[in-house]
Amino acid sequence: MGLAPVSFGEIEAWSRLTGARLTGWQVDALSMMSRAYVAQRNKGEGKPPTPPPWSGTSATRKAASDQLEQILDSMAGKQGRAHR
């Protein structure tokens, strides 16, 4: 079996085993980051391989940083939402 995103059940089990109490938006953030990581990793294994995101110019890194900031800001606005 190949690489797969972390499931909500795995996050719940980790939380229970470690005693870490996560909010709904934190669970959503972990799930989204895991899915994005797996998608980018799978994309990078294509033919030809995709270069890593950190290998671009400073303008590319700035754009990626700005995009990540927007995503995190939008997620923080959903703090009251219960996780699935």
pLDDT in tens, the chain (84 residues): 578 999 999 999 999 999 999 999 999 999 999 999 888 888 777 667 666 666 666 667 788 788 888 888 887 775 544 444
Reported as type and span, the H/E element at residue 6 is none
What pLDDT is stored for residue 69 in this prediction? 86
Angle at 40 between CA 39 and CA 46, to 5 degrees: 95
What pLDDT is stored for residue 1 in this prediction? 56
Residues with Cβ within 8 Å of 44's Cβ and at least 6 positions away in sequence, in order, are: 50, 51, 52
What pLDDT is stored for residue 74 in this prediction? 84
Q: For the whole prediction, is pTM greater than 0.85? A: no
